[in-house]
Amino acid sequence: MADKLIIFDTTLRDGEQSPGASMTRDEKLRIARQLERLKVDVIEAGFAASSNGDFEAVQSIANTIKDSIVCSLSRANDRDISQAALALKGAQRARIHTFIATSALHMEKKLRMSPEQVLEQAKLSVRFAKNLIDDIEFSPEDGYRSDEDFLCRVLEAVIAEGATTINVPDTVGYAVPELYGNFIKRLRERIPNSDKAVWSVHCHNDLGMAVANSLAGVMIGGARQIECTINGLGERAGNCSLEEIVMAVKTRKDYYGLELGIDAKHIVATSRMVSQTTGFVVQPNKAVVGANAFAHASGIHQDGVLKARDTYEIMRAEDVGWSANKIVLGKLSGRNAFKQRLQDLGVQLESETDINTAFSKFKELADRKSEIFDEDILALVSDDSVSQVQEQFSFVSLSQRSETGEKPYASIVFKVHGKEVKSESEGNGPVDASLKAIESYVKSGAEMVLYSVNAISGSTESQGEVTVRLQNSGRVVNGVGSDPDIVVASSKAYLSALNKLQNKSDRVAAQG
């Protein structure tokens, strides 16, 4: 039987480290449920010791997820490890992932520890963790740039202490496929007890080679776990992207010869959910999940595909969950049909009240838009106002005026702690006027570092999805809003970003 390749998803931990991508507990739980539907083997749910919010997110994911292993990251110290174990208490299958940097640069400049101290700390941490949970993963941070002899000593020691998975991160995305693959191979050959652990790869995408490096780690190095994120989300240029890894291994099974547990038909819905939750838009030409990934524009290609699909297509769009722009519901659809569709899309709302709120939003949308697509429904449930969490700011209504030669003007009504307020402003355009109207009341002083509009389902009839990224006092947040009217969508996105800025729960940076 072919070897199994373990898919370890770290969207909710390493992906979330991307500036502005931080998610609430409920958003993380929703994504974790979707990852379970996708059948990922391990979900890294967060870094429990970093903040109360992250602790609660790991805890609620651990209490909910049944089919995937739930993992928490922890630095190599007793407090972090105890917090991780506590948060994971309710999990059917739990894993602690502990790490410490091993490269000379990180040990000297960041940790200010000698190699011998790092070795000792790594051993003690794995020993401590092993007393709490059996499934222990160890990562030597910046492993790829570490001295090979020293790394061998550390990894042999932590395996002897009971680490069951050894993950070798290319933390800064410096690796090259053959070199990284051979590095893993040599480590496995040189470490006498290497066969007692599963070997894992964790590659960042700074040189655009995270997927290639990970696959080399598997094929040349013999690793059997890949760490990745949905849409390649992550700090800087991101992490290895799950959808690319999965479809490479499935499509080229003739070469890789590996088994995967993943149910690929949930890939597109998961990609959408992550993008809509974090506000990180997927580029149209992104492999597998980009809007153009299966579009054939050139006449020659179209002709070929019509005659025989495999002339130009190596994968089938429907196998990864592209549902050919299905019209799913309309104005006359009832609550049960809506609820069923939510279930089919993997969306589980917390309570009947949440379903009722989402359903009335759906009815409002159906009044304005004749065809409702899956994407509309996903956008609708990502909207802050569907979750019952009381946000500080929420949108109520807007009127705006723009005419050639006239100064655009907007008047907006929104709620601040449940109380309606009204504000107005002029601006360069209707969007600018609306956001200035909000800002003139709130006076957040935040700087806008990104504004992007995306049509959710293609045509001008579609809903606009807006991402607003705000920066204030060193914090960066993304707000997302959707509406058939892009001025309204922009205002919602701005208010959503302000809500996130208000949520001051500071977290300890994992690798800081």
- Footprint on this chain of ligand KIV (rule: CB under 6 A): 14, 99, 139, 141, 169, 171, 202, 204, 510-511
Output the six-digit token pair for 309: 């699909």
The residues that bridge with 398 in the sheet, in sequence order, are 412
Q: Are 338 and 386 spatial neighbours (Cβ–Cβ below 8 Å)?
A: no
- CB of 91 vs ligand KIV, minimal distance in Å: 20
**Chosen from ligand KIV, Zn ion, none, partner binding at 103 (C-beta under 5 to 8 Å by type):** none
Nearer to ligand KIV, 54 or 141 (CB): 141
Secondary-structure breakdown of the chain: helix, strand, coil percentages, each rounded to the nearest 5: 45, 20, 35
Nearer to Zn ion, 143 or 430 (CB): 143
**Chosen from ligand KIV, Zn ion, none, partner binding at 141 (C-beta under 5 to 8 Å by type):** ligand KIV
Nearer to ligand KIV, 96 or 510 (CB): 510
Nearer to ligand KIV, 9 or 384 (CB): 9
Nearer to ligand KIV, 139 or 278 (CB): 139
- CB of 199 vs Zn ion, minimal distance in Å: 16
Q: Are 212 and 179 spatial neighbours (Cβ–Cβ below 8 Å)?
A: no
Nearer to Zn ion, 73 or 187 (CB): 73
Nearer to Zn ion, 14 or 137 (CB): 14
- CB of 204 vs Zn ion, minimal distance in Å: 6
- CB of 248 vs ligand KIV, minimal distance in Å: 21
Output the six-digit token pair for 16: 């979330």
Q: Euclidean distance between the first and final Cα of the chain, in Å?
A: 43
**Chosen from Zn ion, ligand KIV, none, partner binding at 376 (C-beta under 5 to 8 Å by type):** none
- CB of 61 vs Zn ion, minimal distance in Å: 19
Q: Are strands 464-472 and 447-455 parallel, antiparallel or unpaired?
A: antiparallel
CA distance linking residue 450 with residue 455, whole number of Å: 17
Nearer to ligand KIV, 50 or 385 (CB): 50
The residues that bridge with 265 in the sheet, in sequence order, are none
Nearer to ligand KIV, 97 or 272 (CB): 97
- CB of 146 vs ligand KIV, minimal distance in Å: 11
CA distance linking residue 115 with residue 108, whole number of Å: 9
Which residue's Cβ has the minimum distance to Zn ion? 14
Q: Are 152 and 122 spatial neighbours (Cβ–Cβ below 8 Å)?
A: no
367 phi, psi to nearest 5 deg: -70, -30
- CB of 357 vs ligand KIV, minimal distance in Å: 37
Q: At what angle do helices 177-190 and 148-160 cross, to 10 degrees?
A: 50
Within 88-147, where are the H helices? 104-105, 115-130
- CB of 70 vs Zn ion, minimal distance in Å: 18
Q: Which amino acid is at 60?
A: S
Nearer to Zn ion, 102 or 490 (CB): 102
Closest-CA residue to 8 (of 224, 183, 162): 224
What is the Rg, in whole angstroms, of the alpha carbon atoms belonging to the chain?
A: 24
Q: Are 34 and 267 spatial neighbours (Cβ–Cβ below 8 Å)?
A: no
- CB of 84 vs ligand KIV, minimal distance in Å: 13
Closest-CA residue to 41 (of 10, 74, 87): 10
For the CA atoms of 79, 83, 88, 93, what is the dihedral angle to 10 degrees? -10
CA distance linking residue 136 with residue 165, whole number of Å: 6
- CB of 222 vs ligand KIV, minimal distance in Å: 19
406 burial level (CB within 10 Å; 0-12, 13-18, 19+): exposed
Question: Given the rule CB under 5 A, which residues bind Zn ion?
Answer: 14
Q: H or E stretch including 44?
A: strand 42-46
CA distance linking residue 372 with residue 395, whole number of Å: 22
